[in-house]
């Protein structure tokens, strides 16, 4: 049985009709967006339980997607080559190194595109989901993460593909019943139409072994695993809240990429959805229920100008061609870094790993600026802070929405840049984001406090001579607990590659072991050429090691 036949078999078990396509020669429209990956934070979730049924979920368009070209192809004229049924289960220990400068092309073929809808219709009274005041501050940019799973089964590959495809679709449909805004459309700046139009769901085939792909991951290859092209300036065909692509490797391994809109979903919310979907897929008795409480805590205000976030964001991030590098801090290196960053005199005896890594990256960023310009410029660091645990009482664990605020630390020119002093500055700013602040941001009067905060940010970011760095963390988001029924991921990563038009953004993630940190740093090409050679940085971090090594 061919790969396409296996997926068709899965569709038939859902009661779907045959896959359809336009006439030969008609061009297909790839799903693209001009929105860059945005700021967000850690983990999150929702509430409501309804009966789970099945219905005809979607219309299916079959396309062939090879590298950057998408064409409608009649299967009779150009069939997708079948995957051999002979078991080719990968051995992760037998990996082959790939040189970034001489990388072998990886082709990703889109086998199908469809819309997965909630298993049960959303009740009429829930059809309009109002965004919160904090959601209003976030653009509808898409945040992409990718999760890699090896094939540890001995069954024929066609059976593996069929079973996993069926399980993912069925469980996603059931999960969307609880996460109903995720299946809606962002039709207005102030609300999401919860119309059950569905999540974009793409199935693709990768002409590579997963072990080879992970031996030396290439950012541009990771980019191809996404359901839309981040580098495109074209508008996306529909204002999806979530888009998913499931990539099947030749060995039976899988990469699941999930892109969610920052308009209503921060890192905590993303992690909550991932946990819920995975739990449903593996048949867990513990159901993850989201809590949509953002609007009740932080009521939206139509007086806030549309696109307010875009007034500040361009001041923080540089635009232009940029480069992303991955720096990995293992547990022993983190212990040494935390010891060096400690400042007993300032009450920082044991800085967190996020605080220690953030301070080091900030210091190295300032070193880079000084090396380029010959003098030290004013420097500003913005760190996204999860508000869920900083209010009394804490927000529900699985609350959905952009429940974060920015801590802003500054370093003036001609200041002696010492690591522990940066930790002190960062701790001081973090202490300002407390339960009193959150309380002032709540309710109808919260708009005044938020407006005051935006004004202060605008003043800080208005200095054209300053350097700006932004850090967001999804550490402790339990990404590596996402077991869909065939084991936990061997690696998870941010999916933006080298293509986002915004530089100076760093995303911190857990390593698979849970006690390390992966820092995905995006800078301009000129800055990165200096930054990635910083001796102090390389004392504690490894530059882009194989995930197969760090997962061992």
DSSP 263: T
b/e map of 77-116 (b: 16 or more CB within 10 Å)?
eeebeebeeeeeebebeebeebeeeeeeebebbbbbbbbb
CB 415 within 8 A of CB 370: no
CB atoms within 10 A of CB 530: 17
HEC sequence for 348-413: ECCCCHHHHHHHHHHHHHHHHHHHHHCCCCCEEEEEEEECCCCCCCCCCCCECCCCEEEEEEEECC
Indicate if the alpha-carbon torsion angle 100, 105, 106, 109 is positive or negative.
positive
CB 386 within 8 A of CB 401: no
Distance between CA atoms of residues 288 and 70, nearest Å:
37
Planar angle of CA 314, 136, 189, nearest 5 degrees = 100
Bridge pairing between strands 191-193 and 185-188: antiparallel
Supply 514's token pair: 């849970």
Cα→Cα distances 384→185, 373, 422, 507, 510, Å: 26, 28, 16, 10, 16
CB 365 within 8 A of CB 419: no
Q: Which residues are catalytic?
A: 262, 483
């Amino acid at each position: 049985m061919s790969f396409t036949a296996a997926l068709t078999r899965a569709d038939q078990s859902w009661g779907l009709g045959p896959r359809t396509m336009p006439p030969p020669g008609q061009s297909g429209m790839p799903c693209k967006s001009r929105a860059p990956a945005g700021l967000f934070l850690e983990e999150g979730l929702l509430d409501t339980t309804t009966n789970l049924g099945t219905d005809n979920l979607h219309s299916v368009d079959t396309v062939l997607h090879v590298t950057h070209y998408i064409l409608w192809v009649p299967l009779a004229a150009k069939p997708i080559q079948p995957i051999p049924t002979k078991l080719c289960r990968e051995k992760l220990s037998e990996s082959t190194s790939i040189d970034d400068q001489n990388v072998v092309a990886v082709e990703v073929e889109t086998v199908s595109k469809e819309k997965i809808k909630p298993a049960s219709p959303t009740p009429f009274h829930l059809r309009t989901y109002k965004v919160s005041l904090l959601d209003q501050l976030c653009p509808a940019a898409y945040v992409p993460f990718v999760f890699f799973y090896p094939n540890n089964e001995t069954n024929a590959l066609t059976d593996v593909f069929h079973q996993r495809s069926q399980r993912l679709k069925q469980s996603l449909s059931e999960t969307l019943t609880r996460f109903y805004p995720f299946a809606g459309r962002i039709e207005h700046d102030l609300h999401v139409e919860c119309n059950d139009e569905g999540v974009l769901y793409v199935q693709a085939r990768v002409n590579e072994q997963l072990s080879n792909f992970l031996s030396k991951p290439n950012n541009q290859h990771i980019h191809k695993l996404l359901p839309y092209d981040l580098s495109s300036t074209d508008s996306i065909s529909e204002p999806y809240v979530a888009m998913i692509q499931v990539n099947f490797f030749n060995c039976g391994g899988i990469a699941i990429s999930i892109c969610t809109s920052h308009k209503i979903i921060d890192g905590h919310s993303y992690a909550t959805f991932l946990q819920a979907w995975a739990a449903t897929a593996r048949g867990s008795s513990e159901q993850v229920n989201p809590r949509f409480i953002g609007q009740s805590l932080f009521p939206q205000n139509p007086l806030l100008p549309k696109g307010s976030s875009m007034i500040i964001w361009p001041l923080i991030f540089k635009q232009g061609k940029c480069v992303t590098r991955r720096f990995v801090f293992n547990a022993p290196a983190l212990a040494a870094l935390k010891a060096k960053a400690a400042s007993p005199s300032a009450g920082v005896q044991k800085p967190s790993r996020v605080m220690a890594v953030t301070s080091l990256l900030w210091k190295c960023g300032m070193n880079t600026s000084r090396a380029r310009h010959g003098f030290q410029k004013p420097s500003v660091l913005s760190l996204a802070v999860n508000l869920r645990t900083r209010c009394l009482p804490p927000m529900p664990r699985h609350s959905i929405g952009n429940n974060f605020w920015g801590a802003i630390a500054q370093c003036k020119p001609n200041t002696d840049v010492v690591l522990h002093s940066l930790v002190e500055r960062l701790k001081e700013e973090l202490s300002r984001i407390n339960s009193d602040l959150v309380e002032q941001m709540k309710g109808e009067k919260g708009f005044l406090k938020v407006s005051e905060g935006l004004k202060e940010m605008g003043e800080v970011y208005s200095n054209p001579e300053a350097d700006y760095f932004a850090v967001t963390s999804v550490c402790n988001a339990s990404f590596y607990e996402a077991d869909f029924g065939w084991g936990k991921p061997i690696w998870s990563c941010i999916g933006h590659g080298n293509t986002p038009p915004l530089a100076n953004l760093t995303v911190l993630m857990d390593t698979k072991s849970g006690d390390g940190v992966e820092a995905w740093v995006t800078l301009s090409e000129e800055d990165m050429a200096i930054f990635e050679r910083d001796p102090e940085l390389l004392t504690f971090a490894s530059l882009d090691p194989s995930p197969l090594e760090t997962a061992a």
